[in-house]
Amino acid sequence: MKKQLVYVRYLAGFVLILLLLWGVHRIAFRWAIQKSVDHLTDTWNVSISFGSYRSQGLSGAVFQKVCITYASGDTLFWGNDIKVRLKLLPLIIGKFQLAKLQIDSMVVNYRPHFLHRNDTTGYASDHQSEKLTINNRLRGLFRKLPATCLIGSATFRYIDSSQWFCARIDSFTIKDKRMQGILHLSDANATSTLECQGKLIPGQYHLAISIRNRQAGDNPLPFSGQKWNLMLSFSSAYLECQLPNATTLLFSVSARDLSLFHPKLSEQAVRFDTSGLSLLIKTEKDYWCIDSVSRLTFNGFTFPLFVRYDYDTVNPTLDFAIPHIEFPAQQLFDALPKGAFRHLTGLKAEGNLSFALRGRIPFGMLDSLYLYSQLQPSSFRIKQFGPAYLPMLNDTFTVYRHEPGFPPVAIRVDSNAASYTRLRDIPKHLIDAVLTSEDGTFFYHRGFNEEAFAKSLAENIRKKRFARGASTISMQLIRNVFLSRNKNLSRKFEEVLLTWLLENSHIVTKERLLEIYFNIIEWGPNIYGIKQAARFYFNKKPSQLTLQESIFLAAIIPSPKYFRYTFVTNGSMKDGFEGYFQRVAQIMLARNQIQPSDTIGLNHRVTLSGEAAKMLISPQDSLLTNPSDTLFFDANEDF
């Protein structure tokens, strides 16, 4: 009997302890919920309400009719029948990590102008704190992801004053390390349905997902067009992300039938049959880098990448490279994407090419910026040209120009044409002045001036805009004879490739290129070629131009349409150009292109005597009195 009483007492005591623990658990649960609500409302200035909520087991909770509203009263989040289970061991030490998340339905309405953070604590501005945040952000995200997730339906809406975007999820699941779901995307202009499946292992920081686009083809994905004016589409894609340790990230993405369009990229959509990017990223205490084992692939052509950024408060430095690679020449031309490089379509070549690129940008010492590149041929020969038939430069041909506000112009490159001037009839001091100004190493380089590229890049970084170009005469010639006037990345890459082909196939002599250049160059509003320019500015023949007049003509090549802003109302050239005249004359003198006696009395006070004199600025335009205030110094202007 006594033993039974003892057992009853023990049982009663155990039950009492359980009741006490259950009571403490309920109090702790409600305290944790209230603390989380208070934190969110104080931080983001939102209101949170529940239809009901209750704990479920030791580490679970069930929420009904959860509503989060902006300060304006509009709904940010609404969800129903939300079940959450946390990992027990992390919970004991105060860490909240999801083990399971189940949502019957939810809606998110994100309005960026409505949501404002009230406090900024924890947002360090120094680069070390930011670097640590970046290092741990993905690992922290993986730790927050549940091992099991079941979502019946979810809708995400992005809304601002001028655009909207909607993403709707049907039956998304993560279970037994596998994930799958269907994603419906839409905006005002497009709709897409993406089928997603893959694997997610939060504990190993590993995600792999494959995506199939049901609306493959020319149908662009929603949102990107509205937000960034980028039209993007693909038939299928694969993405994988893994963090093997705290300082290393393995990331790869690939796509089939990738199509990209942006006005700054190309005039039409750029299409890749296959494309991929594989990166090994390392982040250490003082630097981050993309390791040289990383690869970029498009249409079967692969090349390595290397990038390293060193943190330094005085002189942060960016190093980049494409390590030396060798490949059959035809492999490169076959891989060029459709929609770009249309002047190289159908080009056939034999032999091999090798390429290497290295560069360093010391942001605190931009004058020390370094850039080196080399595309070297081996037994290289062009068997068939594309639409850009380079040998035509040795024959007669016509270049067509049509500038807004002017009638179309046909420029005939023909030694028998009345408007044509042979190189031998152009004064040597004019040739030297133009080469000094535009391309001092023209007769020595093979299409490119790396030193000029480095100086241009440094100047553009320093001024945080495109302030200085580095096109050689060969590049300018290719651009004006074969390519359009639209400025985009595809045209620039096509210009570079065509220039390399022109200079390295030895199809045309340097003298012939220079002669064509002097006869097609734009030298004023609808003024083309040296014969028109000499008459327009000085009412002379090219052979009669003086050294002073030649330096002036070289000076206005970057922005010929705006020559009149280089003068003041009395017809004199602005004083800001005196330094330019002196620099050009000094370089020509150092190269023995002129004699010291030629510089006596040389100054920038050029007198116009042709039709150009009638177009000089009026008094109200004379507010532009500084060279830096004029479009003359805008390096964006094609010649």
pLDDT in tens, 133-162: 566 788 888 888 999 999 999 999 998 877
% of the chain residues with pLDDT over 70 = 88
Q: What digits encode the pLDDT tens for the residues 290-323?
A: 999 999 999 999 999 999 999 888 999 999 999 9
Would you state the pLDDT for residue 572? 76
Q: Find the helix or strand (DSSP H, E) in which 530 lies.
A: helix 529-538
Section 43-62 average pLDDT: 89
Cβ proximity of 35 and 62 under 8 Å: no
Closest by CA position to 518, among listed 594, 607, 442: 442
Rounded CA gap, 501 and 507, in Å? 9
Q: For residues 199 and 211, is the Cβ–Cβ distance under 8 A? A: no
Q: Partners of 322 in the beta sheet?
A: 357
How far, in whole angstroms, is CA 140 from its chain's centroid?
A: 28
Q: Confirm if 321 and 303 have CB atoms less than 8 A apart.
A: no
pTM of the predicted model as reported, rounded to 2 decimal places: 0.85
Contact criterion met (CB below 8 Å) for 578 and 603: yes
- How would you classify residue 502: left for phi > 0, otherwise alpha for psi between -120 and 50, otherwise beta? alpha
Q: Domain ranges in the chain?
A: 388-633
Looking at the chain, the whole-number percentage of residues with pLDDT higher than 90 is 63
User: What pLDDT does 637 receive?
Assistant: 35
The residue-averaged pLDDT of 445-457 equals 92
Do 380 and 353 touch, CB atoms closer than 8 A?
yes
Specify the pairing of strand 60-64 against strand 148-159. Answer: unpaired
Its CATH class, for the domain covering 388-633, is mainly alpha
State the CB neighbour count (10 A cutoff) for residue 80.
16
pLDDT band at 467 (very low <50, low <70, confident <90, very high): confident
Distances (CA, A) of 624 to 466, 578, 617, 619: 21, 17, 9, 10
Q: What is the pLDDT of residues 341-391, one digit of tens each?
A: 999 999 999 999 999 999 999 999 999 999 999 999 999 999 999 999 999
Q: Looking at residue 31, what is its pLDDT? A: 78
